[in-house]
Amino acid sequence: MNYLFVENEKIIGAGQCPILNDNIQNIEVSDEIFNEFLDDKLKYTYQNSEITKNPEYEKLKEKEQILKQINEIEEKLSVLDLKRIRAVCEDEIRDEKTGETWLDFYNSQIYDLRIQLKYLEEKL
């Protein structure tokens, strides 16, 4: 048997044995629902005392993807900030032909990432 566990009107997990806790409902579900829930926790919700497909699923998946992209950009910005500190200290030319310094190069990359970040944050 497969169960989804509900507490305070929210699905909190899944398992093949019921949880013996008065605060948690053990709702028996089909193999299909159980496996789909394990693959993607956003796919199902608890509404009107039953497990149903989440009507907000597409919105939640899009938001999850945006948050993932934001996190990746923030990680890149952190790395670039460290490189900028070094570029300030060393003050070396990156490209002799253009006179571009490493600091200019990193600032340009950061500028582009901040534009992407702002766009994604506005989508939330």
Which domain-ending residue is among 33, 55, 77? 55
| The two three-digit tokens of residue 108, written as one number | 């340009």
89 and 40 within one domain? no
Q: pLDDT value at position 104?
A: 96
Summarize pLDDT for 15-68 with one digit per residue, the tens: 999 999 999 999 999 999 999 999 999 999 999 999 999 999 999 999 999 999
Task: Say how far residue 46 (Cα) sits from the centre of its chain.
Answer: 22
50 and 63 within one domain? no
62 and 51 within one domain? no
As for how many domains the chain has, the answer is: 2
Give the integer Cα–Cα distance in Å for 84 and 92.
11
| The two three-digit tokens of residue 16, written as one number | 């093949």
User: In whole angstroms, how far apart are CA 96 and each of 52, 73, 80, 85, 114?
Assistant: 63, 29, 21, 21, 27
Query: What pLDDT band is residue 95 in, cutting at 50, 70 and 90?
Result: very high
> What range does the domain containing 14 cover?
2-55
pTM confidence score: 0.76
